[in-house]
Structure 1
Amino acid sequence: MLDLSPTILALVGLILAVYCIPAYVRAVRSPINRIPTIGPSGVFTSYYGVLKSIWSANEMVQEGYEKYYGGTFKIPMMDRWSVVVSGPELYDELRKGADDALSFQEAGNETLQIEFTLGKGVKEVPYHVGTVRTPLTRNLAHRFPEVQDEIAASFSDHVPAKEDEWLSLPAYATVLQLVVRTSNRLFVGLPLCRDPDFGKLNIGYAREVMKSAFILSQFPAFLRPFFAKFVTNIDTSVQRAMRHLGPMIEERLEREKQLGSEDPECPSDLISWLLEYAPPEFRTVYELTTRVLTINFAAIHTTSMTFTHLLYDLAAHPEYAEPLRQELAAVLVGDDWSKVVMTKLLKLDSFVKESQRHSGSNACNEHDSSCPEGYHPFGWECGSQRELHQFSFAMSALG
């Protein structure tokens, strides 16, 4: 019988030599050791803090805030330390940090394990960020009527009005359905935005990405490429999305080949905007489909969480409902929704900002009237996203 013990011992020794020992040396020498820790801070004892943070993260953050307000503290996570800063001075310093020192893009890449969960191309050539930052934001104003139409239609389908009768619905699950349709009315238009399978695909894709990212973060970095093969399922999702988007993308590519980029009949949607920024090697059905899924991932759940928090906060503070309704009634003339109307909803803007500040989900800097450019790791700027939150919330408030 073959004795594997020498082989196993050699493999363990190799892992210790290549990963564990260098990792230990880096941990001991790391300048992050000078930052106060909530929980154990030793190289090995900190893993007890990791387990504690799973169940008591809120309590640990509160403890750190009370002990070190105006400074920094750290909390252990499985694959890294989470450093928390507090106080207006450090907030401002953080906000002004240069991209080569503090990169939200890189933080997003690391947290979401983007190379494995969304694809290497999304990480290394993020041209979709420019797409969202410029043409999508630029076209948001004149697409307001379509967004308004889709909000009304999706509310009618998923939150049907019942006269003199309460309707019980799961908040987050219902909001997801509203948001996926409204976002994709802007992204891909009718009739695809109302396709149940396309909506289900985008909602499920985001959940799979988050689940896969969490699982991969539990492994050492050098093992992630191996385990990613078993944990992630990017290709299956992209192939499924291609059944919906493929014909549309192929038609757009053919029109561009025949008429050039200045086609006056070219629809103003996400595919056209992606083609405006895509490098030649990324102008394929597969790659463009991946970017549509990626932008949906960035938009749907963050918007849905924010909208859900807004509903909960309004339910918890019903005294704000009437002032918000009065502001809407004073500003809105008939059904003439526009970006100009949105800029006049100062109370609503304040309510949205305060809800974001308390919920912490994709919240903007409370000390700044607008988020830094590229605040979101996928380029969805806070200002534009907040406008959609206000728009949807305002329409729901008016019924």
Structure 2
Amino acid sequence: MEVFRALSVFVTIFFISYIWDRFFSLQGLPKRLPWAGASSNAISRAKAVRRSWFGLRELIQDGYYKHSKHEQIFVLPNLATGPEVILPSSQLKWLLDQPDHVLNQRQVNDEFLHAKRTMLHPNIPRDTVHGHVIRRELTKDIDNFVEAMAEESLYALDINWGVNTQDWVEMSGYEMMLDIVGRISNRVLVGVPLCRNPDYLRCSSTFSRNVVLSASALNLLPRLWRPLFAPVIMAYDKYQYHKIARHVNPIIKKRMATFEPGLDYRNPNYSKHNDYIQWALHDAFSHEDLEERTTEMITKRLAVLSFALIQSSVITVTNAIFDIACSPDSVEIQQSLREEIQRVMADNAGKEWRKGSLAKMVRLDSTFRESMRLWGFISRGVMKKVVAPEGVTLPSGDFLPKGTNVGITSYAVQHDESVYKNAFKFDPFRFSRPLENPLAKGARPLSMVTTTDDFMAFSHGRHACPGRFFASTQLKILLAQIILNYDIALLAKRPENLWFNNTMAPPMWDSLQVRRRPNTVMEFIPPPSCRARAASNTATFIPEEARRILEAKMLQGCAPSTGLSCPMIINS
């Protein structure tokens, strides 16, 4: 009985201290700083903290217009991360100039995602292997993957959106894009045929989606409880990882058996593989830590990189498609994009998909930049943590102790009417219009990967997202294929995005209608083994049968651009 009573007292004290820390405590911040959505008393602050879980947008706007616009610092309540100090935009340069041993941006991201737990191994968030691979392979050699991604995107659209040229077909926006983007990204990560394996794609996409959900659940727990409950929260993610490993481990082991360190894996005379698995092997065998050379570690890094590449791209393209579909000028927007894509591709002398070609599609690029300006996937442009033991003093003279988050909000700046005219309206050609105006000489090109003081969808400064160049290439290829091959029906009203603390989710459960454009459906000339079933040697299969054959051939690694055993023609 005494033990039970003591335990009850302990739990009660612990619970009260947790509530005080999360909802009422200033956590060492200067008392003079105003709080968004709250007055100076503790009860008002607690109510604002509670609102932050689903109402952070309103708190951001409140603080921005009351304080940031008047060059004042304010505190943004945040139930997940604790209160964050928001600087006015004029102090962005000071924030970016601070060294990493004083203000650290990476630590904010790692703590928000609980990277030591959700990233499967503590080494993964600790070192920079992913950054090296992204910069050296995905960015530098991106042109080598453009054709493959274009091929995979059309194949993925055929499978998910179908080839019905007669009727409008209703499709789930987010769920379909999760599968489509997963296929395209995995074409580069693991190659054919695994990138087309339905079970592998399912577990890879599920793992990618669940990382943020698991991190959010951990953020709500008291710090002392996280080690206890983390294994329970992460159990489903670990299960998905083990399913990924069952597909990937045999491939890694097979390549390890013939891997020769030091050989140029880009040279086809040495290796026929140029994908993440091969890059990871190269990095692993040049790493001092022998654990990096294990199949398990390479697979874990692959799973985490899949999350980094897939989830943000899914959010971005889903938002863009809904923006196009819900615009009053949707038909004209699609026609304008289609005209640009066809014109650029016609100038390529038979080489349809190249990085340089995508760079010329300024309307396509502007569409994404504008959609990301409106929505993005994070509400904060730059956020850093005070890591200096002695704390830091702001330009205003205010002192912040170690452990405080301090930064700039991107959402409010990107929706400021004094920065962007009609800031809440989707204007897809906002950034391309000056480039196409012959009278606007010297217009600065602002692509979707260009970060500025008033566009921080990929953050800003030296820690801007290193994967944004790969993401932009992948996204532009996908949207180009959609515009060329499908019509998107007009939606009367854009579905609301869901604010989930710091993150903005696209319409998760809403649908849109699409229809395959005439004369774009690939059909097969029957290969010799199947011609007995055809009426003549030149007969083509009906679309449904063609699709089944396409699926079977693709799973065997037969690429449509090569012909091989399944030559194809284009209806015209």
TM norm structure 2: 0.62
Does 2:380 correspond to 1:345? no
- 2:221 corresponds to which of 213, 219, 222: 219
Distance in structure 2 (CA, Å) of the matches to 1:349 and 1:387: 10
Q: Which residue of 1 aligns with 2:254?
A: 251
Deviates more, 1:127-136 or 1:281-290: 127-136
Kept after mapping to 1: 8 A contact 2:203/2:241: no
CA distance in 2, matches of 1:21, 1:300: 36
Compute the displacement of 1:386 (Å): 1.6
Letter aligned with residue 117 of structure 1: T
Asked if structure 2 preserves the Cα contact closer than 8 Å seen for 1:188 and 1:269, the reply is yes
Measured at CA, do residues 161 and 90 of structure 1 come closer, stay the same or move farther in structure 2, by a change above 3 Å? farther
Q: Judging by fraction of residues, say which structure has more helix.
A: 1
1:358 to 367, 371, 374: 374
How many residue pairs were aligned?
391
The letter for the 1-side match of 2:338 is R
Structure 1 unaligned residues grouped into runs of 5+ = none
Pairing of 1:216-365 with structure 2 (within 5 A): 216-233=218-235, 234-256=237-259, 258=260, 260-262=262-264, 264-265=270-271, 267-278=273-284, 279=287, 280-317=290-327, 318=330, 319-333=332-346, 334=350, 336-361=352-377, 365=451
- Match of 1:4, SS? helix
* CA distance in 2 between partners of 1:354 and 1:366 (Å): 14
Q: 1:158 pairs with 157, 160, 171, which one?
A: 160
- AA aligned opposite 2:479: F
Secondary structure of the 1:31 match is coil
The amino acid across from 1:38 in the alignment is A
AA aligned opposite 1:375: A
Q: 1:144 to 1:170 in 2, by over 3 A?
A: same
Amino acid at match of 2:101: D
Give, in whole Å, the separation in 1 of the partners of 2:113 and 2:30. 22
CA distance in 2: counterparts of 1:296 and 1:121, whole angstroms: 17
In structure 2, C-alpha distance between the alignment counterparts of 1:94 and 1:397, rounded to whole Å: 40
Label 1:21 to 1:174 Cα distance change in 2 as closer, same or farther (>3 A). Answer: closer
Q: Which residue of the other structure, out of 464, 469, 475, is the alignment partner of 1:383? A: 469
Structure 1 position 3 matched with structure 2 position 2: yes
Report SS of the residue matched to 1:332. Answer: helix
In structure 2, stretches of 5+ residues that fail to align are: 382-448, 486-572
Letter of the structure 1 residue corresponding to residue 371 of structure 2: S
TM-superposed deviation, 1:156:
0.9
Q: Is the 8 A contact 1:133 1:374 kept in 2?
A: no
Question: In structure 2, what is the Cα distance between the partners aligned to 1:243 and 1:125?
Answer: 26
Larger mean Cα displacement after TM superposition, 181-190 or 72-81: 72-81
Q: Secondary structure of 1:100's match?
A: coil
Asked whether the 8 Å contact 2:181–2:313 carries over to 1, the reply is: yes
Task: Tell me what 1:59 maps to.
Answer: 58
**Counterparts of 1:282 and 1:184, CA distance in 2:** 21
Distance 1:21 1:265, change over 3 A: closer
What is the aligned-residue identity percentage? 24
Matched, 1:175 2:177: yes
Does residue 1:393 correspond to 2:488, yes or no? no
Q: 1:68 corresponds to which letter in structure 2?
A: H
| Distance (whole Å) between structure 2 residues aligned to residue 93 and residue 313 of structure 1 | 35
The equivalent of 1:142 in structure 2 is 144
Indicate conservation of the 8 Å contact 2:208/2:311, yes or no.
yes
Asked whether the equivalents of residues 310 and 355 of structure 1 are also in contact (C-alpha less than 8 Å), the reply is yes
Distance 1:161 1:331 in 2: 25
Letter paired with 1:251: K
| Worse overlay, 110-119 or 67-76 | 67-76
- Please tell me whether the aligned partners of residues 187 and 195 of structure 2 are also in contact (alpha carbons under 8 angstroms): yes
1:374 positional shift: 4.4
Q: How far apart are 1:94 and its partner, in Å?
A: 4.0
- The aligned counterpart of 2:211 is 209
- C-alpha distance in 2 between matches for 1:145 and 1:29: 52
Instruction: Show CA shifts across 1:246-287 (max 9, x none).
Output: 11111222222x565445215110112222333332111111
TM-superposed CA distance for 1:199, in Å, is 0.9
Separation in structure 2 between the aligned mates of residue 86 and residue 316 of structure 1, nearest angstrom: 33
CA shift for structure 1 position 44: 6.7
Contact 1:206 1:297 in 2 (8 A): yes
Q: In the TM superposition, what whole-angstrom CA distance separates every residue of 1:40-96 from its partner, at most 9, and x where no partner exists?
A: 466675332222223432222222222123344332222412444454x34444444
SS in 1 for 2:140: helix
Deviation, 1:15, is 5.1
* Structure having the higher Rg: 2
From 7, 27, 31, the counterpart of 2:29: 31
Displacement after TM superposition at 1:298 (Å): 1.1
State the SS of the aligned residue for 1:168. strand
Inter-CA distance 154–8: structure 2 relative to 1 (3 Å threshold): same
| Deviation digits for residues 331-374 of structure 1 (CA, Å, limit 9, x no counterpart) | 11256110110111122222211111111226864546995454
Question: CA shift at 1:170, angstroms?
Answer: 0.9
Q: From the two aligned structures, give the one with the greater strand fraction.
A: 2
Cα distance between partner residues in 2 of 1:248 and 1:112:
29
Report the 3-state secondary structure (helix = DSSP H, G, I; strand = E; otherwise coil) of the residue aligned with 2:2: coil
* Distance of aligned partners of 1:298 and 1:151 in 2 relative to their CA distance in 1, 3 Å threshold: same
CA contact (8 A) 1:325 1:397 kept: yes
| Distance in structure 2 (CA, Å) of the matches to 1:240 and 1:395 | 31
Q: 1:124 to 1:359 in 2, by over 3 A?
A: same
CA distance in 1, matches of 2:464, 2:116: 20
